[in-house]
Amino acid sequence: MNLRRERSLASDKMGFPCHRPDQVPVLLWLLLLILAPGREQSGTLPKAFLLLEPPWSRTFKGEKVKLTCKDDHSWVQGYVSWYNNGISLGSRPGTIQIDKSGYYTCKTPRSSLSDPVHVEFLSDWLILQASHPVFEGDDVTLRCLGKKEKKTYEKTFYKNKEEMRHHSQSEVTIHSVSMDNNEYHCTASGESVLGSWTETSKALKIQVQELFPQPVLRARPSQPTEGNPVNLKCETWLPPPRSYIWLRFCFFREDKVLEPGWSNSSELQIPTMWSEDSESYWCQAKTATPHIIKQSLRSQIHVQRIPVSDVNLEIQPPGDQLIEGGDMVLICSVAKGTGTIAFSWHREGTKRSLGRKMVRALSAELRIAAVREQDAGRYYCSADNIQGPILSKRIRVTPKIPASHPILTVKTPRALAVVGDVVELRCEAQRGSPPILYRYYHEDVILGTNSAPSGGGASFNLSLTAEHSGNYACEADNSLRAQRSEAVTLSVTVPVSRPVLTFNPAGPQAVVGDLLELRCEVQRGSPPILYWFYHEDVILGNISAPSGGGASFNLSLTTEHSGNYSCGADNGLGVQRSYMVTLNFTGQKDLPPELKYRSSHLGLSTSKVIHITVGFIGCLLSVSGLAATAYLVSYFRTQRKSGRLPATGTPSYSPKEHQEPSWSGPCSTDPHTPPHSEPPAVMEPQPVYSNVNPGDDNLVYSQIWSSQQTKGNPARSPRTHRRNEEPAVIYSELKKSQPEDTAGQAHEDPAENYENLPCAPSALDH
């Protein structure tokens, strides 16, 4: 009875219901089994493990022990394979009952073979028992038990034959056991009627199981490609009865700890692997309490390198949009390639590379700042990751050059630009990408445009007028920038027109000794203008007009100054001559108010009248004038003979009655030369004086009327005087014929005959 009670107490102490610190309640153990992660994914099935009931690996012969096979799951599905000393016992349920000694193992469908458990059934009187299962770091209870023990004896425990403790208790605890080969036994002693006695147990080796197996380092992928990540896993596991223990892990490359060091995770991801990372890797796993640490074997990881391929060069901005002065970016990329890639950039015709970069990327770029015209050419790049350089295709780069400030040149056919000339405006930009559009301006007013499709300059022809003097400029535009040239001044020289010669005073009262002003002026012509004054084609002098306009020449009259006058104007483009003007003047400065006469007999040659007559020289003594004069002479002679004329010989109109002289424009002897368009100077009406001898019957007077011509055809001019206008009367004295003139013709003294004949085209009214 006492023996059963002791066994019961021992069972209570060593069984699961006991709340020992090294054992787990059944419910918690089952919960840990449920939460424990499966390891099917690792490729290695976890080991099955055995539970004993009662939990002692040694007992007395004749008793029975229950064996239960467990795996990671809360319950075992299907049958379990059982083995005794390596001999299969067949497939049986998960729990069996045994009574024979041996090494028992089991295996479930979802686990590998368990560690063997040595169960002994002894016929000894004294046995030493150890609890089961025992894992590394556990506390183990040793019990020294006698067969059919009725009272307490003095018991002693030994380790490797050395006494551990000497007391009467039947149990002793060994803390944090390890997997070693220590042997334990115990002794019991007492007194009997026969005397004192001592019993010694059989030696016992504690069956300590691994708390967790040696870690195994696994890399996925096992041969990673350069530039890709790799996952490292430190594989180990805790048995379900000890799954509540926390494991910590650490990973190593060679002898260097990989970040982050010790952690609760059994996995580590290396984001990027490179060829230089091809080394040995290993891991460690440990528990905090108890302190158990284990490390894996070293695994060599070989990182594979992929050679570069499909090298491509990209230019930003594109080659046809690049503008001089801007930045150019050369981007070299590869479709495939791992590891450190050496990129380099080149331009054809240059030995040295433009740049070189070593990067762990599939692309790299090179920036060229402030591109110039000489940077044009064909560009390419290369990539190499120790497999040999691979070249890209070549791309032509031609920077567009904004148009520079153009230069405007004006080409004239002569030294001076003259009205009517065709000048060439040449505009040319020294630099600029074609096509270039040129615009031409005169005083900021556009004249025209033209284009240079291949670059260079362009020309614009302009026919000059007087209004084309001023500032000229041109503009070059190639859509990148419009540039304006400097202004060029062009002076257009206008040839002088035919000058007009006038006299001042303008009337017929000039006489010897007077100061006569000859005024020569052109209506148009660029200054400076040089004027010449002529008398009978003899140069009297010249005067310059620096600012244009007219010029005057003063002449002190002498008797030799009668005749034809003209002037010329020249501004370097040719001389223009005025029409000739005839000047006749009186020899006496003052005449008496009464009419003076002197005939050839009274010395008329020294005091004869000289009248100023301005007219066309070519019209003097014209045929019609001679005919009219002859008619008048004949008429007046007839009238005098018949007594119709007064004896005094005065005309029907006295000279005093007519104040307006005959004054017309100059006339040319050349019928193709037109008369000057300017009207003659307006003359103040003056009396016309004549020397009359009332007592001389040899004088005959003729009266000639002249009127103003109307505009248009002179032939259609009216031959009557205008209303309310006094006619201009010119008297001419003619010598009377002598009686001894047998031929019937009058003998006239050339020195005594003076005639004032009107100029054709003036019509004779009478």
Report pLDDT digits (tens) over 170-215: 888 888 888 888 899 999 888 777 778 888 999 999 989 888 889 9
pLDDT digits (tens, 9 = 90+) for 435-446: 999 999 999 999
Rounded Cα–Cα distance for residues 264 and 261 (Å): 10
pLDDT grade, residue 721 (50/70/90)?
very low
How high is the pLDDT of residue 446?
93
Using a pLDDT cut of 70, give the percent of the chain over it: 68
Rounded Cα–Cα distance for residues 573 and 166 (Å): 153
Average pLDDT over residues 14-18: 34
- For 527-555, letters b (16+ CB in 10 Å) and e give eebbbbbbbeeeeeeebebeebebbebeb
Label the pairing between strands 247-253 and 280-287.
antiparallel
Residues 6+ apart with CB under 8 A from 611: 508, 584, 586, 661, 688, 756
Q: Output the pTM of the full model.
A: 0.46
Judged by average pLDDT, the poorest of 36-40, 472-476, 566-570, 664-668 is 664-668
Q: Contact 101/119 with Cβ under 8 angstroms?
A: yes
The larger pLDDT score, comparing residue 417 to residue 542, is at 542
Average pLDDT over residues 521-535: 93
- The closest of 99, 137, 132 to 114, measured between CA atoms, is 132
- The closest of 224, 323, 211 to 270, measured between CA atoms, is 224
Q: Contact 118/207 with Cβ under 8 angstroms?
A: yes
Distance set, CA 305 to CA 138, 166, 228, 280, 359 (Å): 49, 70, 10, 17, 15
Quote the strand ranges of 108-183, DSSP E. 117-122, 126-130, 134-135, 140-146, 154-159, 162-167, 171-174
How high is the pLDDT of residue 152?
63
The larger pLDDT score, comparing residue 551 to residue 26, is at 551
Beta bridge partners of 501: 520
The larger pLDDT score, comparing residue 42 to residue 557, is at 557
pLDDT digits (tens, 9 = 90+) for 58-107: 999 999 999 999 887 656 667 899 999 999 998 998 899 999 999 999 99
Rounded Cα–Cα distance for residues 125 and 127 (Å): 7
pLDDT digits (tens, 9 = 90+) for 662-706: 333 333 334 333 333 333 333 334 444 444 444 444 444 444 444
Rounded Cα–Cα distance for residues 153 and 198 (Å): 10
- The closest of 475, 438, 433, 477 to 455, measured between CA atoms, is 433
Instruction: Report helix, strand or coil for 715.
Output: helix
Q: Judge whether residue 761 has pLDDT over 70.
A: no
- For 83-116, letters b (16+ CB in 10 Å) and e give bbeeeeeeeeebebebeebbebbbbbebbeebeb
The larger pLDDT score, comparing residue 437 to residue 10, is at 437
pLDDT digits (tens, 9 = 90+) for 212-268: 889 999 999 988 988 889 999 999 988 888 888 899 999 999 999 999 999 999 999
Judged by average pLDDT, the poorest of 52-56, 367-371, 551-555, 711-715 is 711-715
How high is the pLDDT of residue 150?
65
Beta bridge partners of 159: 162, 184
Rounded Cα–Cα distance for residues 749 and 599 (Å): 10
Instruction: Report helix, strand or coil for 319.
Output: coil
How high is the pLDDT of residue 110?
85
Average pLDDT over residues 11-34: 37
Terminal CA-to-CA distance of the chain, rounded, Å? 199
Q: Where are the alpha helices (DSSP H) in 193-255?
A: none
Judged by average pLDDT, the poorest of 26-30, 53-57, 448-452, 497-501 is 26-30
Rounded Cα–Cα distance for residues 551 and 530 (Å): 9
Q: Judge whether residue 386 has pLDDT over 60.
A: yes
The type of residue at 468 is H
User: What is the overall mean pLDDT for the chain?
Assistant: 75
* Residue 196 burial by Cβ neighbours in a 10 Å radius (0-12, 13-18, 19+): exposed
Rounded Cα–Cα distance for residues 254 and 280 (Å): 5
Rounded Cα–Cα distance for residues 607 and 399 (Å): 98
Distance set, CA 118 to CA 53, 144, 174 (Å): 14, 18, 20
pLDDT digits (tens, 9 = 90+) for 420-430: 899 999 999 99
Average pLDDT over residues 146-167: 79
Residues 6+ apart with CB under 8 A from 715: none
The larger pLDDT score, comparing residue 3 to residue 405, is at 405
Average pLDDT over residues 272-293: 89
Q: Is the peptide bond before 54 cis (omega within 30 degrees of 0)?
A: yes
Average pLDDT over residues 473-494: 91
The pair of three-digit structure tokens given for residue 659, joined into one six-digit string:
């104040």
Determine how many CB atoms are found less than 10 A away from the CB of residue 444.
Answer: 9
pLDDT grade, residue 392 (50/70/90)?
very high
pLDDT digits (tens, 9 = 90+) for 571-580: 888 899 999 9
- Secondary structure (H, E, C), 334-350: EEECCCCEEEEEEECCC
The pair of three-digit structure tokens given for residue 179, joined into one six-digit string:
């997997």
pLDDT grade, residue 728 (50/70/90)?
very low
Rounded Cα–Cα distance for residues 14 and 279 (Å): 50
The pair of three-digit structure tokens given for residue 113, joined into one six-digit string:
């073979």
How high is the pLDDT of residue 508?
60
pLDDT grade, residue 24 (50/70/90)?
very low
Beta bridge partners of 91: 81
Average pLDDT over residues 378-396: 91
